[in-house]
Structure 1
């Protein structure tokens, strides 16, 4: 058995995360099971070795996928890997549609754009990465690397995000692209997923504290009670939306989260980054509003006796009145909490910007998985 193991051909697959933020977490999870997946779906007679590592903290934006593949090819050659796959959170396009994956047999590398996969990224990667590795090994002409035992299945049938294949099949330069409409929607959802709105929500603790303080003060003012009852649902909705819009706008301006097109960042990429940032902050702000609304409703029920509210409004009250009261107070408190958002830790808030990637704590040694 040991002698048989020694005679099995060995293929080293490099799995690179760039930038080493969210993609590094995905790489760490995929690397654990990739060797088994390659044995199952590409060639069981090969001894697969997976090496996981980090790529550039700030990958080049101006060169698109070609610059990414060139950097990956140099990394593969320096490390002595047979093939390399890069997972990135950069939203990439080709022919004005989202690019999901790209292979380059000449460079023996491939890349996958995580946001183009949508929400269920790890599940899609389990099908995509073995298929890409198999394609690279099947099409390569270098005898040192044995070809895959069987041709890889077409990724278009396995991954919902991939709509069609473009490029030069004979040259081994293939791009797997999404559909024009559904692909753009999936790309935006994937960008928000990669940007982790929960992290932005947890980072807005001072905002919530300021909003709760404003809400507590407003609960003691009977003018607010009367205003909440007098305003209809439409006006309350407008006030709520204005408060949330003011909060998101203030966060972007106060912490300089707006991405501006320049020599290194094309206008289309800057627009995508800004849209991802807006959607992330909007989700975080909406979640903060829900927490504030629930807390205000509970506080109103505990602090304002029904008889006191009835005396002020001069009519019987029920749960709807308390919810309406919490609604108007939460909307006004959101505006008050916006001031507190300017006191948040700069790095914490900037993490909500899609184009921002903090320096990692230390360069992790590549390891066999």
Structure 2
């Protein structure tokens, strides 16, 4: 460190991810670039130090953003940070509008709801967090940085369909909400992104194997060939949708993935959790269906000779007939795959539930960045 760097005032920014799942992944990558972003956009006359930490596995749901801000303020005071930012995957609301972020100058903290940022959460967080830090330091009149009164407005301009609302209860609080259909659609896509549908897809490997086994058996029966030939595109589409819906419903019921409102989980939050779970499972099962369909087409083309298929259908056949055969076979096999889902590891399948977060292997030490076990 040069002498000029030692002479610059130091500001410590704490970045807390709760739960240590998708928010921790975003926080880890954001930490690496946040100091340079703060230097560029807030003040180059300050030496910025960013501390990364993990929050609770199951963040408080009953108090919404206020509860998170209270917990974060205590964490900031205990660790002696100047300001603290919380990244969470909780879908928060303010007056029935998706809440993107909320700041509290009195507590010198801010919370960011990653789902409200949509699919590109790291990029949006990188754009928003420096403005939140600048706004907090400006609101508390920190002498180490110049006044940044335009930071709140800057953040609202950086994120599309987001506007700022001043709190009437606390003059030092500001909320950033996403309005209209764009904001709600972005919240739902962000929830699916935060729930990591790829993890759910990999977790359903035994289901896919069971479906392949069912499809392979169905391809050997000429009754299926005749059914595929007789059914039209509309009825085949209905059978496919019913099969996928039945599979998603079976996964939710068999593995108890449905979130029920209780004292700690308001009804609105439970509905969002359930919607996030349904969308995640729907996406995962749809991708599994595509993989099953492609595999069934290839197997059908290899096993069923064209002359045999023409003899059963009593007409000339083309590659389209193989696609139709794979279509009905894959749709019926998804129901058989539901039986295979009962063989999945319970922890793996439950990870698809939006409100469920498995205990991580270790907790990141705040001082040296090394993981250690949680007691």
**2:132 alignment partner in structure 1:** 132
**1:265 alignment partner in structure 2:** 265
1:49-81 Cα shifts (integer Å, max 9, x gaps)? 000000111111000100000000000000000
Query: Given that residues 46 and 145 in structure 2 are in contact (C-alpha distance below 8 angstroms), is that contact kept between their aligned partners in structure 1?
Result: no
In the comparison of the two structures, how many residue pairs are matched? 367
TM-score normalised by length of structure 2: 0.95
Q: CA deviation at 1:163?
A: 3.0
Query: Given that residues 293 and 326 in structure 2 are in contact (C-alpha distance below 8 angstroms), is that contact kept between their aligned partners in structure 1?
Result: yes
**1:113 alignment partner in structure 2:** 113
**2:306 alignment partner in structure 1:** 306
Query: Given that residues 137 and 148 in structure 1 are in contact (C-alpha distance below 8 angstroms), is that contact kept between their aligned partners in structure 2?
Result: no
TM-score normalised by length of structure 1: 0.97
Query: Given that residues 289 and 330 in structure 1 are in contact (C-alpha distance below 8 angstroms), is that contact kept between their aligned partners in structure 2?
Result: yes
Runs of 4+ residues over 3 Å off in structure 1: 147-151
**1:31 alignment partner in structure 2:** 31
Query: Given that residues 119 and 193 in structure 1 are in contact (C-alpha distance below 8 angstroms), is that contact kept between their aligned partners in structure 2?
Result: yes
Query: Given that residues 164 and 178 in structure 1 are in contact (C-alpha distance below 8 angstroms), is that contact kept between their aligned partners in structure 2?
Result: no
> In structure 1, how many angstroms separate the alpha carbons of the residues matched to 2:313 and 2:202?
38
1:231-289 Cα shifts (integer Å, max 9, x gaps)? 00011001001100010000000000000000000000000000000000000000000
**1:285 alignment partner in structure 2:** 285
Greater relative CO, 1 or 2 (CA 8 Å, sep 6+)? 1
Q: CA deviation at 1:160?
A: 1.4
SS in 2 for 1:163: strand
* Runs (5+) with no aligned partner, structure 1: none
**2:18 alignment partner in structure 1:** 18
CA RMSD of aligned residues (A): 1.5
Which range moved further: 178-187 or 165-174? 165-174
> In structure 1, how many angstroms separate the alpha carbons of the residues matched to 2:313 and 2:234?
21
- Residues 146 and 171 (structure 1), Cα distance of their counterparts in 2 relative to 1, 3 Å cut: farther
**2:100 alignment partner in structure 1:** 100
**2:88 alignment partner in structure 1:** 88
Q: CA deviation at 1:364?
A: 1.1
Query: Given that residues 43 and 149 in structure 1 are in contact (C-alpha distance below 8 angstroms), is that contact kept between their aligned partners in structure 2?
Result: no
Q: CA deviation at 1:149?
A: 5.4
SS in 1 for 2:363: coil
SS in 2 for 1:154: helix
> In structure 1, how many angstroms separate the alpha carbons of the residues matched to 2:319 and 2:326?
11
* Runs (5+) with no aligned partner, structure 2: 370-375
> In structure 1, how many angstroms separate the alpha carbons of the residues matched to 2:137 and 2:165?
18
Q: CA deviation at 1:168?
A: 4.4
> In structure 2, how many angstroms separate the alpha carbons of the residues matched to 1:170 and 1:88?
22
1:319-345 Cα shifts (integer Å, max 9, x gaps)? 110000000000001101111111100
